[in-house]
Amino acid sequence: MSGWTRRRMFGSLLLGVAALYSVGHFAYSAGYAAVKILGGDFLTAFPGPLAFQVTQQWPWLAKEWIGPARSWNYGPLIQFITLPLVFAETRMQAMQVALFVDYALVAATFGLWVRLVFGARARLAAWVGLACIWLNYFPLLEAVAGREIELLELFLVSAAIWALRRNRQGLAGSAIGLAVMTKFLPIIFLPYLLLKRFYRAFWIAVGVVVAMMGVTALSLGFDGSNTWGVLRDDLTGVQAYVAYANQALVNILDKMFTVFNINVPHPLRLYGPQVHAVGFTLQGVVLAACGAFLWRWRRSRLLEIECALLAVVMVMVAPHANTYYLVFVLPAISIGLASWLRDPSTLGSWSKAAYVSAVVMSGFLVPMQVFQLVTGLPGVVVARVLQLYSLPAFGAIFSALVMVELHRNLRTESPPVVVQAAVAQEMAV
């Protein structure tokens, strides 16, 4: 048996072990443990006022769960798509249905990115390796366990990118419009559509947003929306608070000037207004730099890389970004891995180190129980400490830098080789 054959067999064995571990980790964290959870920010949005208008089944639940739902959070889309859940008999049943919907969203989103970066005939080892990262990615596990709306948001943005690559602007515009009305942050993609001259997609997205705003005004009414009040308070610092899980750039600075107690939700900030102002200034600089970069290379065809970069920036400049928001780093991680596997020369030594750092720091990958065995601290405390020191945020920053480096190395190709092969396979099927 040759040395090459032995190495290949060892690599296959190692990948098989990693795949089994990844499936087991996901099954436990996003399955066995998640199915028992009655928590997460999903509960701040459902059941909302529209649910109470449709049925009288839930008044007892409103009192037991979140109080009378006269106001609503996030974008209005969640108020409409969760209406079928009002027929659940218990809150646990509603949460379990939402969990299985999230499984479908994760699978569909992963499938889109496999098609985007590997093509329809991807090597088994390539997409299994990518699946290992996704299945162990802490923000994704957290989002699934909490039934977070970011999973729908990520799916819609990913579908739009897939559609743009195939010049299906109607589908792309519809997906972006729905994503905007999910949690408003994807509005950052609207100017990008104009910049890249996807005019039809832009106007369809605007039309979807306007139509949904009209339906919302007639059914929910914007007077009950908490989103704008929370945004105003965040921007002005009136009720801004420091949280270990908040990975937005402004909160990284806030945490540096905070007398932090991991057990206190709103710890004492030092020089709060001043630091908050500096933080939002920094976020404005990052947003402007991203805009200038995209404007400079507006004629490039590196849609996947640019959208992945934009998704990371979208999270980092948000007024508030819990760790599960970093599911939007997964597109950058997927592109980075595909580029590395297809042609290692597209990433320099520092870029490869930055990529590994992005995956490990933003995703953790190792179950918190392992850290618990090593440190003797409860796993949940270890996770909070890692988030307190903003490791996920710095991982996201590294992923953005990798996208910039890939853009520099691949922009002479139209489209880039990693996408060119994938699209060719798609068209051949």
Say if pTM beats, i.e. exceeds, 0.85: yes
Short-list 331, 248, 246, 255, CA closest to 283: 248
pLDDT at 6: 67
CA 393 to mean position of chain CA atoms = 12
CA dihedral 272, 275, 280, 281 (to 10 degrees): 150
**Residue type at 173?**
G
CB within 8 Å of 245: residues ≥ 6 apart: 322, 323, 384, 387
**Alpha carbon distance 369, 373 (integer Å):** 6
pLDDT at 266: 60
pLDDT at 26: 92
Per-run averaged pLDDT (10 residues), the chain, 429 residues = 66 84 90 80 70 57 49 82 79 86 96 90 85 94 91 97 95 96 93 95 97 88 75 64 82 79 63 79 94 93 95 93 94 95 90 94 78 73 82 94 94 54 45
CA dihedral 178, 183, 184, 185 (to 10 degrees): -110
Q: What is the DSSP letter of 47?
A: S
Per-domain residue ranges of the chain: 36-428
